[in-house]
Structure 1
Amino acid sequence: MATSRKPAKAAKAAAVEIERVQTGVRLEKRLLKVLKGLAEYLDLSLGDLLEGVALHALENKAPFSPATLKRIQDLKKVYGLDLGAVDSHRLSDG
């Protein structure tokens, strides 16, 4: 996920067999729109995008290239997402 498209190297890597489960999560509406737009841009499912972001975060690694970060900023403007990491502990349903 470090680039804006799936790297060729990833296609050659051996597959890791996993078991996925269906889950119901609630997300802030604008955040979800940005994530869906980003997944579409990267040609990933939303679930694959979230898995990648979470796996990178758990290793304290940045999941996105500078070009992808630019796309994220564009999507945030389109969908009016003005929240940042600092807001993550202050969100409440209104």
Structure 2
Amino acid sequence: MKIERTQTGVRMEKRLLKVLKALAEHQDRTLGDLLEGIVLHAFEGRAAFGDETLQVIRQLKAVYGLELTARDSHRLEEAGDDR
């Protein structure tokens, strides 16, 4: 399917981005391709990853010290943000 992509400047938690980049590298995909797949699965209410990939993600999270969970997603504050 032919599509048109656009460059974006998205800000993301540093360790989360490291895990995503490492996962994309592990799957021999670009970060953009990985994110598109995750979002398209989420839009359909489907899981983006199987058991094998989830194991790789757990390992990468340990390597990069990522302890955030989905529960944290609405409670994140940027360091130095006084809001």
TM-score (norm 2): 0.94
1:78 equivalent among 57, 63, 69: 63
Alpha-carbon displacement from aligned partner over 1:39-84 (angstroms, at most 9, x marks no partner): 0001100000000000000000001110000000000000000000
1:60 equivalent among 32, 42, 45: 45
Equivalent position amino acid for 1:42 in 2: Q
Structure 1 residue runs of 5 or longer lacking an equivalent are 1-15
Q: Tell whether 2:62 aligns with 1:89.
A: no
Looking at structure 1, the residues matched to 45 and 72 of structure 2 have their Cα atoms a distance apart, in angstroms, of 19
1:33 equivalent among 18, 28, 31: 18
1:44 equivalent among 23, 29, 41: 29
Aligned residues: 79
Q: Secondary structure at the match of 2:78?
A: coil
| Shift >6 Å, 4+ stretches | none
Higher RCO (CA 8 Å, separation ≥ 6 residues): 1
C-alpha RMSD of the superposition: 0.4
Q: Secondary structure at the match of 1:89?
A: coil
TM-score (norm 1): 0.83
Equivalent position amino acid for 2:74 in 1: H
Looking at structure 2, the residues matched to 81 and 19 of structure 1 have their Cα atoms a distance apart, in angstroms, of 32
Overall identity of the aligned pairs, in % = 63
